[in-house]
Amino acid sequence: MKIGILGNNKSVLAFGALGVETFGVSNKEELLLAIENIKASELAILLISEEIAQSFNAEIQGLFQQTLPACLVIPGINKDSSKAREGLKKILERALGSENFIN
């Protein structure tokens, strides 16, 4: 199972050291190229930084329509946002069947 991360160039660097396939972008052209590479890859899970999800929402919507990779928006490193955290919480609630296991 391959995992990838789509985010700004700086935020994806550490994930590469962990064996995660990184797709660092800084503008729309790089994002569109990264999306084509993601679609051609055999990723099972794609983590998308919240910053990219907010800045390029229309461009990444096609990724969420595919069966694979399963896309998950994660909180960014630069700011604390409850939107990505709430999304993660809902996924965990569905997976665990209860919110009692989540802090």
User: Domain 2-77, CATH 3.40.50.10580 — does that match?
Assistant: yes
What's the confidence (pLDDT) of residue 100?
Answer: 57
Instruction: Give pLDDT, residue 81.
Output: 64
Radius of gyration of the chain (CA): 14
Q: Per-residue pLDDT for the chain (103 aa), expressed as one digit of tens each? A: 799 999 999 889 889 989 999 999 999 999 999 999 999 999 999 999 989 998 999 999 999 888 889 898 888 766 656 666 676 676 666 666 665 555 5
Do 21 and 2 form a contact (C-beta atoms < 8 A)? Answer: yes
In the chain, domain spans = 2-77
Q: Which of 31, 26, 63 is nearest to 47 (CA)?
A: 63
Helix (H) or strand (E) holding 1: none
